[in-house]
A and B are shown apart, each in its own frame.
Chain A
């Protein structure tokens, strides 16, 4: 039997799920601040990379908290935050089919081509 988890996991946030603020207005529901994903550019010229997540009431607070939690030692010079509920993820259980088309196209790789050693600069 498969286990179906209905709690919030990374990338599990569909449009049907309400994140923190919507929930907070729901009186006796939990009053947790929404969850945010943090992406950090460690230096100019590099991509922003996922660093982790945190809770914050709004985007400004999320940015400030991200600075305090994830960049206490100059780990970044730019931060992106996005509310976790906005992340859509591919399904790990369907990964085999989903990525399959790339698998059998080995001719996309330079190593596929068997050429004489005397051929230079290629």
Chain B
């Protein structure tokens, strides 16, 4: 018997409310599918573009130990991108379509990666602040209503913790170093602090899609809730570095039991999202170049695979012939 969309919708919401997972071939509202495709692919794009600012320092890492660590971290980010692209593909979008959306500028990625990495200390600040903010965003995503997304995010979260720890360790070492190294450390924190706060997205009252996403359990906490959590966490951790956060309004509030913090420059956020950040052009260009430069490798691998398959087929038919009585 034909079910009405309303009934299906009701059943769907009931399953979500009961914390049952939705799997790729289950019925789902079209808007749920589209929202997930957008959210998961943007997340994947962020992981892939996120390799660029750090990749920038691999050849200039100050020691072999640091180089190995950074290499492993950047490789993890590639892995995260791949887990997430696969999860998005189960919703019926192809990998190439997603790349196309990224390359044409139709799809967005996290605005944080449009800032430059000017010194080695930025590797520490990114690990501690950027990965730190990402972790807070990602932990609730380990139990979204969509199964493949949840499974991908469990992997991602498991791997993130080393990213944040290596970043803090890097800064800790600098903070105990020479005057120049200490300055480098403080300078990196100054530059990455505000963009990190923006990673949680617009303020709650300016985040129109949030309500539906919460209802569908593909979002569990509001942007401002997560941002506050981050501020509280970092404001304590920075004491161990003997550094300061670049916010004169930052102070502990005895009443709320949280840190108060200063106003975020949302105009800057808007500009970077719209493509006018310091490195938007450079990042997209680098990504497109990598894709174009790799074309012959992809073609060659396809041709090789076809040739091998052909050879095998021929050999098979030959043995069949000789086996004939």
Chain A positions within 8 Å of B, measured between CB atoms, are 1-3, 5, 7-12, 21, 24-25, 30-33, 35, 52-55, 57-58, 61, 68-69, 72-73, 89, 91-93
**B304 touches A (CB below 8 Å):** yes
**B55 touches A (CB below 8 Å):** no
Chain B residues with CB under 8 A of A30: 94, 96
Nearest to A34 among chain B residues (CB) is B305
CB distance from A91 to the nearest CB of B (A): 8
Chain A residues with CB under 8 A of B89: 8, 35, 53
A32 and B25 in contact, given A52-B86, A53-B89 (Cβ under 8 angstroms): no
A2 touches B2 (CB 8 A): yes
Q: How far is the CA of A35 from the CA of B91 in the complex (A)?
A: 14
A3 and B82 in contact, given A52-B151, A57-B305, A58-B304 (Cβ under 8 angstroms): no
CB distance from A20 to the nearest CB of B (A): 8
CB distance from A74 to the nearest CB of B (A): 13
A33 touches B2 (CB 8 A): no
Chain A residues with CB under 8 A of B304: 57-58
Restricting to B94-127, which residues have a CB under 8 Å from any CB of A? 94-96
Chain B positions within 8 Å of A, measured between CB atoms, are 2-3, 5, 8, 23-27, 30, 72, 75-76, 79, 82-83, 86-87, 89-96, 151-152, 155, 159, 298-299, 301-302, 304-306, 308-309
CB distance from B30 to the nearest CB of A (A): 7
Q: How far is the CA of A54 from the CA of B308 in the complex (A)?
A: 20
CB distance from B95 to the nearest CB of A (A): 6
| Contact for B306 among A24, A32, A91, CB less than 8 A | A24
Q: How far is the CA of A5 from the CA of B83 in the complex (A)?
A: 22
A69 touches B25 (CB 8 A): no
| Contact for A69 among B26, B82, B96, CB less than 8 A | B82
A58 and B305 in contact, given A12-B25, A35-B89, A52-B152 (Cβ under 8 angstroms): yes
Known: A11-B25, A53-B89. 10 other contacts (CB 8 A): A2-B2, A5-B25, A30-B96, A31-B96, A31-B298, A54-B86, A61-B305, A72-B72, A72-B75, A92-B25
Q: How far is the CA of A30 from the CA of B98 in the complex (A)?
A: 13
Nearest to A50 among chain B residues (CB) is B151
Q: How far is the CA of A90 from the CA of B290 in the complex (A)?
A: 40
B24 touches A9 (CB 8 A): yes
Chain B residues with CB under 8 A of A93: 27
Q: How far is the CA of A74 from the CA of B192 in the complex (A)?
A: 33
CB distance from A77 to the nearest CB of B (A): 18
Nearest to B30 among chain A residues (CB) is A3
19 sampled A-B residue pairs with Cβ under 8 A: A1-B5, A2-B2, A3-B30, A5-B92, A7-B94, A8-B94, A9-B25, A10-B24, A21-B302, A21-B306, A35-B89, A52-B151, A54-B86, A57-B302, A69-B82, A72-B75, A91-B25, A92-B23, A92-B25
A9 touches B5 (CB 8 A): no
Chain A residues with CB under 8 A of B302: 21, 24, 31, 33, 57
Chain B residues with CB under 8 A of A3: 27, 30
Tell me which of B90, B92, B305 has the highest count of chain A C-beta atoms within 10 A of its own C-beta: B305
Q: How far is the CA of A7 from the CA of B92 in the complex (A)?
A: 5
Tell me which of A9, A21, A72, A89 has the highest count of chain B C-beta atoms within 10 A of its own C-beta: A9
Chain A residues with CB under 8 A of B3: 2
Nearest to A95 among chain B residues (CB) is B26
